[in-house]
A = this chain, B = another copy of it.
Amino acid sequence: MTELSALAQQFPLLEGLDEPGVAILSRAKQVTLPAEQIVFHQGDQCSHYIIVVSGTVKVMGRSASGREIVLYRIEQQGSCVLTTSCLLGGEQYPAEGITETEVRAFLLTATDFQQALAESAGLRRFIFDSYGERLAAMIGLVQEIAFERIDQRLAKYLIDHSGSGFVLLRSHQDIADELGTAREVISRHLKALEQKEWLALSRNQIMFLNKDAIRVLAKSE
């Protein structure tokens, strides 16, 4: 319980959480996972419900031919997972989860999870919100893949993953895996942007020369 209250500072969910919710969370197992750790495989049975306290978990799909695509991220400060559907439906994970950073998380058993849904309005709300965000994001992703051009999606990626910086340290393969396409495709588009003098490329590094132009490309095309 002291540990819980230590967490509260960095974990807004806990602040003002109702009594039953606190009780359930204090029963939960707390785990710390190192970076690059596989949290669940495609095809695994789910056994626990995960609430991420800090760090990020990347959820991705993999094709037979070895291509990958990032479906979404379970982000720092609170979101949760598709564990839900598996847990309740007893189904298998349709995707793979990998920590990107060190991750601290709560693990709830199926029973505790059901109880959380039944008894804690706060947790219920939290779980539903995460679920909803995820579904909306997936709908957006489907439309992006189906309708948008790679150069625009690439621009969006560059903007989203560079924050306010002017250098992005990432290999072409990393980017291809995020967007669900082939490395060559990314290499060629990056090269085209370099020829426009919007970027400067070197091994594992992309430097922005004209970030505004990229930003415009990311918006509408």
* A residues lining the B interface (CB < 8 Å): 61, 63-65, 67, 69, 71, 82, 84-86, 88-89, 91, 94-95, 117-118, 121, 124-125, 128-129, 131-136, 138-143, 145-147, 180
Instruction: Indicate how many identical chains form the complex.
Output: 2
Residue of B nearest to A220 (CB): B64
Known contacts A118-B124, A125-B88: A82-B143 contact under CB 8 Å: no
Interface centre among A63, A132, A134 (most CB of B within 10 A): A132
| Inter-chain contact B86/A147, CB cutoff 8 Å | no
| Inter-chain contact A61/B143, CB cutoff 8 Å | yes
| Inter-chain contact B136/A82, CB cutoff 8 Å | yes
Complex alpha-carbon distance, A146 and B131, angstroms: 23
| Inter-chain contact B94/A129, CB cutoff 8 Å | no
| Inter-chain contact B135/A71, CB cutoff 8 Å | no
Q: In the assembled complex, which residues on chain B have CB atoms less than 8 Å from the CB atom of A134?
A: 135
